Amino acid sequence: MGVVTKRSSMTYFSDSKDHYSHRVRIVLAEKGVTVDVVDVDSTQIPAELSEINPYNSLPTLVDRDLTLYETRVMMEYLDERFPHPPLLPVYPVARAESRQFIYRIESDWCPLVDILAGNKSKEAKEAAAKDLKDSLVAIAPIFAEKPYFMSDEFTLVDCCLAPILWRLKAYGVALPNTRQVLPLLEYMERIFNRGSFIESLTDYERELRTSSVS
């Protein structure tokens, strides 16, 4: 993966298939952080990781004596530790709004993606796909207002949203090519062509745009 350059004091234990792991990889790439990315099978957590993460969960970020295992904490830590380019607004009101957007993405859309990625019934997946599609279609016009999600600059909100949008096709969520949805489709292309996003992709994720997940 492009983020990995040389041995570093920072290590990122990542699930190559997971959208939560992906969001942090985007931040790492955006910041140009030198980090050792260790791909881990979520069903076979190594003892090394179990010793430092009480939840035995992925992803996990280790920076010297610091261990983080919550993605929002990781992203904000990286943004503060490596301040350029900034991925949260400077002003308190705008920062609070960005955090609330992330909360809404995690509350409204992430659970649907988790169903689509998990071992759920066909009926459950079809319902989740419909709910996700309907929600995205409804919100699509707001992407005409700003180049990024409610912002003139690329932020952590985009880092959380991009992995979801990248997985839509693989999960059978087909957005209609309509005037209403066009701003979202254009946003997706803009994000997917961004250098840091391309660099963040694992081999599995690269194949998602040409395959479907059962």
pLDDT of residue 14: 97
Q: Which residue has the higher pLDDT, 214 or 46?
A: 46
The Cα 212–Cα 172 span in angstroms is: 7
pLDDT for residue 1: 45
- Asked if residue 193 has pLDDT above 90, the reply is yes
**What global pTM score does this model have?**
0.93
Rounded mean pLDDT of the chain? 93
Spell out the domain ranges in the chain. Answer: 92-194
Secondary structure E strands in the chain: 10-14, 36-39, 60-63, 66-68
Q: 92-194 sits in which CATH class?
A: mainly alpha
User: Reduced to 3 states, what is the DSSP secondary structure of residue 151?
Assistant: strand
Tell me what pLDDT residue 4 has. 40
User: What are 104-142's pLDDT values in tens digits?
Assistant: 999 999 999 999 999 999 999 999 999 999 999 999 999
Could you say which DSSP state residue 16 is in? T
Measured between alpha carbons, how far is residue 144 from residues 21, 76, 140, 180 in Å?
Answer: 28, 27, 8, 10
Contact assessment for residue 200 and residue 208, using Cβ atoms and an 8 Å cutoff:
no
Residue 3 confidence (pLDDT) above 50: no
| β-bridge pairing 66-68 and 10-14 | unpaired
pLDDT value of residue 95: 96
The residue assigned the tokens 């081999």 is 203
**What pLDDT is recorded for position 6?**
40
- List C-alpha distances in Å: 5 to 54, 201, 203: 28, 15, 17
What is the percentage of the chain residues whose pLDDT exceeds 90?
A: 92
pLDDT at 71 over 50: yes
Contact criterion met (CB below 8 Å) for 188 and 165: yes
Confidence of residue 9 (pLDDT cuts 50, 70, 90): confident
Residue 102 has pLDDT above 60, yes or no: yes
> How many other C-beta atoms can be found within 10 angstroms of the C-beta atom of residue 114?
14
